[in-house]
Amino acid sequence: MSEFATHGSAGDLHDLVCLSHLRWNFVFQRPQHLLTRCAAHRRVYFFEEPIFDSAEPWLERQRYGNVRVAVPHLPPGMPDDAVVTVERQLLDQLVAADGIRRFVLWYYTPLAVQFSDHLPASAIVYDCMDELSAFANAPAALKQCERRLLDRAHVVFTGGQSLYEAKRDAHDNVHAFPSSVDVAHFGQARQITVEPADQAQIPRPRLGFFGVIDERMDMELLRGVATLRPDWHLVLLGPIVKIDPANVPSLPNMHWLGAKTYADLPNYIAFWDVAMLPFARNEATRYISPTKTPEYMAAGRPVVSTSIRDVVRPYGRQGLVRIADTAETFVQACEAAMAENPATRLRDADAFLRQTSWDGTWSRMWRLVEQSCPDQAAARRAASAV
């Protein structure tokens, strides 16, 4: 058995050092699902992008369960080249202080290659969950850094089929791992009978959404639906980022309730009549694979989405999600969703959900990391030559 697969003490295992553009305690999504499972068997370090709020550089250390989070704090206005130098120093200090010797480097942001490419990792993984270069205010260096990372990575994962199709020719070891779901967690919504106070006062029917609210949201679609059906109420949960709050529609039947914890989401979804995926169709959404699609289904809600490719395939084509792109057709799809037979919907949704889980996804991903590790590949070649 390889030491990758050994379930001994932390000192006997490869650690995992993750370099991320996302905050661990921001929104519970793909990195959190995967790395909490990884941390059950090895030390996991989650090194975030810096916060520019300190007179002198320092590294904040936090623990979230078994995951060790490191947050650089740097002086405001520090030049980009100096930022890279200090990030390298802080990362080196972390590696030395915790005796991180055998480890896997796991990237969510290609920009991190600028300060981590010297580290002697046993394997390098790029989990490409989004096309970051298409997002608002993307750094100019992002595409060049991604090319560097793709040259160094031993294995590349993508967060959906569309992203896989975009990256598969850029590396010889690319694998698609679309969003999965914790069925037990979201399935709680099917039995919950007491709803949160800030939602209980909102009349029904309710159309709900949870997630980050940014340039990927189709605000005009939301405005149109709310205008066409003033008797419906739109409930939107999540932080508003990277967009001017003044551009967020403010109508009497639109309710922006702010960010909620992952643990609380089933309590809200339980009392929605339709779950929405009202994404704009633009460069920022071209390759997204929304994790919330199977989460809505696990919660037992009918789902209506715009024509995001990784929602159309497979959910739309299998009749699990209704697809509509205009306010008028979105309203019609929601009307049909509220009139459908829930028993049939739940049967079909559960049949699909039995095929996926974050536990299974993580197990398959780690097996590919093992197989891609140069030391393990060399050992297999030597064994086959005997």
Other CB atoms within 10 A of residue 106 CB = 27
Percentage of the chain beyond pLDDT 90 is: 88
**pLDDT at res. 377:** 53
Strand-pairing partners, residue 322, are 304
Q: What residue has token string 């996991």?
A: 44
**Per-residue pLDDT at 375 exceeds 80:** no
pLDDT band at 373 (very low <50, low <70, confident <90, very high): confident
Query: What's the pLDDT tens digit per position in 67-115?
Result: 999 999 999 999 999 999 999 999 999 999 999 999 999 999 999 999 9
Q: Minimal CA–CA distance to 90: which of 34, 49, 120, 62? A: 49
Q: What is the C-alpha R_g of the chain?
A: 22
- pTM equals 0.90
Query: What's the pLDDT tens digit per position in 146-202?
Result: 999 999 999 999 999 999 999 999 999 999 999 899 999 999 999 999 999 999 999
pLDDT band at 226 (very low <50, low <70, confident <90, very high): very high
CB-CB contact of 31 with 108 (8 Å): yes
Q: Tell me the C-alpha to C-alpha distance, in Å, between residue 9 and each of 4, 5, 251.
A: 12, 12, 56
Q: What residue ranges in the chain does DSSP mark as E strands?
A: 15-20, 44-48, 51-52, 58-64, 67-74, 103-107, 123-128, 155-158, 174-176, 206-210, 233-237, 254-258, 274-277, 303-305, 322-323
Q: Map out the domains of the chain with their CATH numbers.
A: 10-180+357-385 (3.40.50.2000), 183-353 (3.40.50.2000)
Backbone conformation region of residue 263, classed left if phi is above 0, alpha if psi is from -120 to 50, else beta: alpha
Strand-pairing partners, residue 60, are 71
**Per-residue pLDDT at 343 exceeds 90:** yes
**pLDDT at res. 384:** 53
Higher pLDDT, 45 or 134: 45
**pLDDT at res. 1:** 33
Query: What's the pLDDT tens digit per position in 298-327?
Result: 999 999 999 999 999 999 999 999 999 999
* CA–CA distance, 324 with 306 (Å, rounded to integer): 5
Average pLDDT over residues 342-365: 96
Alpha helices in 46-79 (DSSP H): none
Backbone conformation region of residue 144, classed left if phi is above 0, alpha if psi is from -120 to 50, else beta: alpha
Average pLDDT over residues 265-269: 98
User: How does the average pLDDT of the chain come out, rounded?
Assistant: 93
